[in-house]
């Protein structure tokens, strides 16, 4: 923020000085955080470079010692295995999250039970985050195990025990059918 901007707004000098002092405090805090993060980044980069250098020197020096060479190869294979496992776990987590999201959108009543009925071998996570093959399985699940999903349309095959709505507004005739059956006449003219 520049002092000229505040002067252009017609603020008094004392107000401008107070605003600039407060703005300076927040700016300095942010600058110190940025400096701290840059220092930490530089330190981590140095550590990574040093690690790579140590591995190279071990590799070069391990020519004389078969035991060191074996240890180095084991460490490298362990590192590759851990990296591969991390990638696999991440892909599995993304797939599971996408499946759960799709079930939530479809309104599945019990996601855990619905997941148990899926054939995961036919599912694949696409680059766009969608699960290929899930739509087909969802359609099949809705047909075979429809109780896991909310009904899309109410069926009319359930018994109707009472009329829906307010019974007082349903009667459209001027005579009360119940009173007529009892022999009581409905007198709408106010006499008798």
Model confidence over 159-187: pLDDT tens digits?
A: 656 666 665 555 555 566 676 777 765 55
* 3-class state of residue 157 by DSSP: coil
Q: Is the pLDDT of residue 5 over 50?
A: yes
Maximal CA-CA distance, the chain: 125
Judge whether 164 lies within some domain: no
151-162 per-position pLDDT tens digit = 765 555 666 566
Q: Which domain holds residue 3?
A: 1-61
Contact by Cβ (8 Å): 34, 51: no
Q: What domain count does the chain have?
A: 2
Judge whether 178 lies within some domain: no
Q: What percent of the chain has pLDDT over 90?
A: 0
**Cα(170)–Cα(181) distance, integer angstroms:** 18
Displacement of CA 54 from its chain's centroid (Å): 42
Judge whether 172 lies within some domain: no
What pLDDT does residue 148 have?
84
Q: Is the pLDDT of residue 134 over 80?
A: yes
Could you tell me the two tokens for 157?
A: 């095959």
**Cα(63)–Cα(15) distance, integer angstroms:** 73
């Amino acid at each position: 923020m520049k002092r000229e901007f505040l002067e252009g707004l017609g603020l008094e000098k004392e107000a401008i000085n107070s605003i600039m002092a407060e703005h300076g405090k927040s700016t300095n805090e942010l600058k110190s955080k940025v400096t701290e993060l840059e220092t930490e980044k530089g330190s981590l980069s140095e550590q990574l470079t040093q690690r790579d250098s140590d591995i190279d020197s071990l590799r070069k020096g391990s020519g004389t010692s078969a035991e060191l060479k074996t240890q180095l190869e084991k460490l490298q294979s362990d590192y590759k295995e851990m990296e591969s496992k991390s990638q696999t776990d991440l892909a599995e987590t993304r797939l599971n999250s996408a499946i759960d999201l799709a079930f939530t959108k479809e309104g599945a009543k019990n996601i855990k039970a619905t997941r148990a009925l899926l054939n995961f071998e036919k599912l694949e996570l696409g680059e766009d985050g969608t699960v290929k093959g899930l739509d087909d399985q969802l359609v099949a699940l809705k047909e075979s195990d429809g109780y896991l999903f909310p009904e899309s349309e109410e069926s009319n095959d359930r018994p109707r025990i009472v009329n829906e709505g307010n019974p007082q507004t349903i009667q459209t005739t001027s005579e009360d059918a119940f009173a007529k059956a009892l022999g009581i006449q409905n007198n709408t003219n106010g006499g008798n």
